[in-house]
Amino acid sequence: MSNISGLYIRVSTMNQIDRESLQTQEERLKAYCIANGINEYKLYKDAGVSARDTNRPQLKALLNDIKNGNISKVFVVKLDRITRSIKDLIQLTEYFNKNNTFPKSTIKKLYLNPKNESKNYSLRDLFIISIISLLCFSTFFRLYTYELLSN
């Protein structure tokens, strides 16, 4: 497996490109690489492409490079750059797990353990947290609806 890291950036509208959002993401990821001694990386840039599905040219290229062993780590500014869909998150999590590669958010950190604030949770951790949250919300909603209907 390669020691090259993949840097994935994306904006969904042409407006965001004009506001330099792509440039900002790229600068932050490159600064993260420099600060953490990551010398080899490849940039994947989807400009003006929605995250409503995984049909994005540079995401496909990244996934293909992971599959071929050309990329060992993936860094994003925040999780929603990769996907905003629970269905896609499940599929991508399975794909990353199969290929022993998990994206890491370099900027947005989720601190669930106040005693260990240095823990940066992986996509897999966030996926599990999302599913548990959805199950809790779904159960609450069903119980609440049942209460309303039974009164």
Tens of pLDDT, residue by residue, the chain (151 residues): 678 999 999 988 766 665 658 888 899 899 988 988 999 999 999 988 887 888 899 999 999 999 999 998 899 888 778 887 778 888 888 888 888 887 777 654 444 444 444 555 566 666 677 777 777 777 766 766 666 666 5
5-122 CATH pick, 3.30.360.10, 3.40.50.1110, 3.30.450.40, 3.40.50.1390:
3.40.50.1390
Query: Which residues neighbour 15 within 8 Å (Cβ) at sequence distance 6 or greater?
Result: none
The pLDDT value recorded for residue 110 is 41
Please provide residue 43's backbone torsions phi and psi, each rounded to the nearest 5 degrees: -95, 130
Helices (H), 56-122: 57-67, 86-98
**pLDDT for 123:** 61
> What is the pTM (predicted TM-score) of this model?
0.69
Residue with tokens 């951790």: 125
Write the Ramachandran bin of 28: left for phi over 0, alpha for psi from -120 to 50, otherwise beta: alpha
